[in-house]
């Protein structure tokens, strides 16, 4: 089994030009499969609200939801570096709330790092959490928790003026002490510039090549059916496999093809002894 990575590995990987591959996971089996496949890191994203809990945004996700899913992921992937995603309103209020809630991810769910969304406006939160000794990842570009302000789930930084603001945000996040930055849905030209400008690792989800790539497991495995973002490469169609399996099972049950003799526990005494015993109840 590969040794669990640390921030030193991720910093070295950036220096050596070695790509980091990571996915989201929300439960024990998915985390265990990701670890068995050799994933470099796992994000327990608040996207769990949409992918697993059936909400139409990430906003309803609570700290309790996140902690419980992070605990399950940690049990499934004990040797993988796991990031807990701070949910909406767990850090937007004050630096103190941000530190208390970040601490819960570490103490209650054994996370290695927390991630929060936003640029300069959360710089003081990043600094406060880092000062408490907790590893933080920043996240800018398309930030789903502020999709209302962005006018929806839309790519960001496509014009010079907004790209300039994102560069300022990226620099502020590094300055505040984040160990890495995630860029979501920004053009590759901007990603390349930011990844070259920052000393810390810069990762992408839908932002083109840089120091590593993240995909949402529900998208890449074909589990999430509501929509598929342009940047997703689908590696499987698990929804189709599951639906077909469920259909076949229903047919088997209704037609009597399941269960067969192979799917039952066999008696240890003779059938005569059982028949005799049944008579006691007649
Ligand atoms: O919650 C999540 O999965 C995320 C990704 C969209 C980056 O934050």
pTM of the model: 0.95
The ranges assigned to domains in the chain are 7-236, 241-279
Q: Which two tokens stand for residue 109?
A: 């769910």
pLDDT at 225 over 90: no
Segment 262-268 mean pLDDT: 97
Q: Could you list the beta-strand ranges (E) of the chain.
A: 20-24, 41-44, 81-85, 113-117, 136-141, 180-184, 202-205, 212-215
Q: Alpha-carbon distance 220 to 134, whole Å?
A: 30
Q: Is the pLDDT of residue 224 over 80?
A: yes
Give 244 Cα–ligand 1 centroid separation in angstroms: 29
User: 22 is written with which tokens?
Assistant: 């990571």
Asked if residues 52 and 93 have their Cβ atoms less than 8 Å apart, the reply is no
pLDDT given for residue 4 in this prediction: 93
Task: Read off the pLDDT of residues 49-100 as tens digits, 9 standing for 90 and up.
Answer: 999 999 999 999 999 999 999 999 999 999 999 999 999 999 999 999 999 9
Classify domain 7-236 at the CATH topology level.
Answer: TIM Barrel (3.20.20)
- Check pocket membership of 45 for ligand 1, CB cut-off 6 A: yes
Helix axes 123-131, 95-109, angle to 10 degrees: 50
SS3 content of the chain, % helix, strand, coil (to 5): 45, 15, 40
The pLDDT of residue 22 is above 80: yes
- Which residue has the least CA distance to atom 1 on ligand 1? 45
Query: Looking at the predicted structure, is the pLDDT value of residue 1 above 80?
Result: no
- Name the 3-class secondary structure at 98: helix
Å from CA of 263 to ligand 1 middle = 41
């Amino acid at each position: 089994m590969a040794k669990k990575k640390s921030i030193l590995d991720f910093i070295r990987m950036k220096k050596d030009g070695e790509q980091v591959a990571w996915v989201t996971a929300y439960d024990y089996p998915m985390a265990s499969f990701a670890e068995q496949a050799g994933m470099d890191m796992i994000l327990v994203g608040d996207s769990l609200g949409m992918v697993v809990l059936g909400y139409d945004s990430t906003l309803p996700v609570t700290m309790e939801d996140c902690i419980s899913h992070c605990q399950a992921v940690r049990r499934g992937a004990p040797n993988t570096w796991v990031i807990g995603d701070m949910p909406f309103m767990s850090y937007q209020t004050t630096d103190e709330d941000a530190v208390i809630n970040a601490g819960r991810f570490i103490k209650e769910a054994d996370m290695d790092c927390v991630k929060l969304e936003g640029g300069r406006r959360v710089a003081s939160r990043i600094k406060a959490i880092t000062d408490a000794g907790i590893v933080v990842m920043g996240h800018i570009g398309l930030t789903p928790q502020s999709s209302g302000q962005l006018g929806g789930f839309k790519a960001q930084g496509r014009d010079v003026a907004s790209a300039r603001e994102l560069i300022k945000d990226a620099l502020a996040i590094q300055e505040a002490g984040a160990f890495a930055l995630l860029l979501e849905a920004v053009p590759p030209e901007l990603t390349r510039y930011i990844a070259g400008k920052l000393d810390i690792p810069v990762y992408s989800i839908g932002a083109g090549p840089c120091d590593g790539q993240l995909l949402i497991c529900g998208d890449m495995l074909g589990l999430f059916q509501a929509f598929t973002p342009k940047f997703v490469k689908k590696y499987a169609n698990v929804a189709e496999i599951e639906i077909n399996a469920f259909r076949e099972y229903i047919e088997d049950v209704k037609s009597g093809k399941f269960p067969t003799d192979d799917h039952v526990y066999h008696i240890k005494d003779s059938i005569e002894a059982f028949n005799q015993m049944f008579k006691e109840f007649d």
